[in-house]
Amino acid sequence: MTRPSRPRVTVIGDAAHLMTPFAGVGVNVGMVDALELPQEIVGYVKNGAGQGGPSLAEVISDCEKGMWALSSRDAAMTARVLEVQFQEDDCENMVELMSDGAGPECSGDGLDVAEVIGSPYEETLELQHST
């Protein structure tokens, strides 16, 4: 879900992204938004604040498009997990979802659901730490 960009106003995190809570990634989405938006604004200021380049509104609009593209994958994942949890054989589906590919870590001390289901934020955060 997206919204038209508006000058002087932007939203991040839960205010910007519609998704179910059934994968526990909402905070991650908000944290990435809160990291990337200020970086884009600082970059805009450091690069001359629109002198011959894009306006601040264009920079923010481009950042919003990136946020929505990234979060849409997590929103789809939360929808899939929601479906799995509310099917007739939901218990069996959840056991399979939580154990598929996780090996012995399914005991609860080390299970990383993002590894089982996949999360686009792992790459983003790795890139942030490497710069």
Residue whose pair of structure tokens reads 């997206």 in the numeric block: 2
Overall size of the chain counted in residues: 131
Distance CA 49, CA 47 (A): 6
DSSP state for residue 55 in the 8-state scheme: -
The first and second tokens of residue 13, run together, are 């995190």
Domain residue spans of the chain: 13-130
pLDDT of residue 86: 77
Neighbours of 9 (CB within 10 A): 7
Residues ≥6 apart with Cβ < 8 Å to 117? 23, 77, 80, 81, 97
pLDDT of residue 91: 74
pLDDT of residue 105: 43
pLDDT averaged over 10-residue windows placed end to end, the chain, 131 residues: 74 78 78 89 85 87 87 83 76 69 46 50 51 50
pLDDT of residue 53: 83
The first and second tokens of residue 10, run together, are 């932007």
pTM of the model: 0.58
Angle between helices 26-46 and 56-85 (to 10 degrees): 170
pLDDT of residue 31: 86
CA-CA-CA-CA torsion sign (42, 45, 48, 53): positive
pLDDT of residue 50: 67
E strands, the chain, where? none
Distance CA 28, CA 84 (A): 22
